[in-house]
Every structure is written in structure tokens, then in C-alpha cells.
Chain A
């Protein structure tokens, strides 16, 4: 069935460190892929998305590339900031429904 598997947290990094959060998915067809972010006390916000194979989504220094061959959509950022501390959710959409991963909590320390 449809599912998303993402790296478990929590992840703690020092400011300016490199971030990778792994995400793989199982889906029928070719879904659109998303990363959502949830800052403390706020809702789920769309961070970036990719709609077809080899597309790269990017926003606020974060990037993720749609890899059909490995069914992956890993999130990366070259230099994290304290303000990036949040929970990150990998997701895909098929039909009218989203499927989310469990979320990865990131804490960036100065």
C-alpha cells in the first residue's frame, strides 16, 4: 500500500552544519512529492515540492530531488540556521489524498 518512510529523529545539529533527512515512498503511479515543515505552535507549511521525476524542489535553501529509480525525495540544506528548528514531514499526494511520514524533529543549536 501507499506509505512514506522518513528518517527518525530527533536530529540535533550545530548552526551552519549540513542537513540531510532521508525519505522514501511506496506509491502506485507517479505521485507528486512534498516536504512540509511545522514550526512550534504552527500548522503544516509547504516547504517545497516536485511533481515529476528528476524535478528539484527548492525553497529557503532547502532542496530535494524526485528520484523515481530509488523512490526517494531526500531533503538537504547546506548550512542550517537556528530558525530552521522544526519538524519536517515528507509526503506524497495521489488522487485527493496526502500520505505523510512520521516527521523528523530538527533542533539547530548556536
Chain B
């Protein structure tokens, strides 16, 4: 069964550093998403991406965050200057269209120290 692949599975970074979280969506999917889950809290929507541009974003997705599809297969989330409160599990997801069920990746656990 096709999978959404996320790397790395765990990343530790120092506060103030930039991090890039990587995702390889399912090849024929057109919609891409990032969600995050702070430990013990809800899974929260960050951003959706379609046709090489952001289609929707939440209040969490401020100027510190950016997304990119640098080539035909990767979808990345960049955090420019990490804060302690950015520590969370980040999930990438993709879907064929906006109405069909998502497929989620296994997540990247980001720890900011």
C-alpha cells in the first residue's frame, strides 16, 4: 500500500536554529498538508498546499513557518528560528483531492532544546 514517508523520525535542534522537515507524499496525490501534535494535546492543522501554493493555513502557521515543494516528490516544512514551544510531532499528509481521505505519514518528532 502506498505510504507517505517522513524524515527524519526524530530531530533535536537548538533554540534559534532552522529546521527542515521532509515528506514524500504519495506519487499521484495533489494535495499536501502539515499537522502537528504537541505532547498530550490535539493534532492541529498547520497548512494545506495545492498547485504549488498554500491554499489554507492556521493561526499557528506564522512567518516562522514556510512550505515548499522543491521538486516533483518532496514536500518540506521549514521553521526558520525554532522556539521551545515548537517541540511537537509533525505529521505530513497527502490526498488525491480535497474531499478524499488523507494518508498520513508516521511523523517527525521535533525536540527543541
Contacts and interface: CB of A to CB of B under 8 A. Distances in A.
Interface residues of B, number: 25
A41 interface: yes
Contacts of B3: 43
Contacts, number: 50
Nearest to A100: B43
Interface stretch (B14-22, B65-73, B74-82, B96-104): B96-104
A97 B106 contact: no
Q: Interface size for chain A: under 10, 10 to 19, 20 to 34, or 35 or more residues? A: 20 to 34
B42 A100 contact: yes
Interface stretch (A16-24, A44-52, A59-67): A44-52
Interface in A28-53: 34, 36, 41-46, 49
Contact of B35 (A46, A49, A98): A98
A44 B56 CA distance: 21
A91 B35 CA distance: 13
A45 B104 contact: yes
Instruction: State the main secondary structure of chain A at its contact with B.
Output: strand
Nearest to B3: A43
A83 interface: no
Interface string B81-113: 000000000010100001001111111000000
A102 interface: yes
Contact of A102 (B6, B35, B40): B40
A103 B39 CA distance: 11
A46 B106 CA distance: 13
A44 B104 CA distance: 5
Nearest to A102: B42
Interface of A: 4, 34, 36, 41-46, 49, 89, 91, 95-103
Interface of B: 3-4, 6, 31, 35, 40-45, 48, 55-56, 58, 91, 93, 98, 101-107
Per CB-CB distance, the 8 closest pairs between chain A and chain B, nearest first, are A100-B43, A44-B104, A43-B106, A43-B104, A97-B45, A43-B105, A96-B98, A102-B42
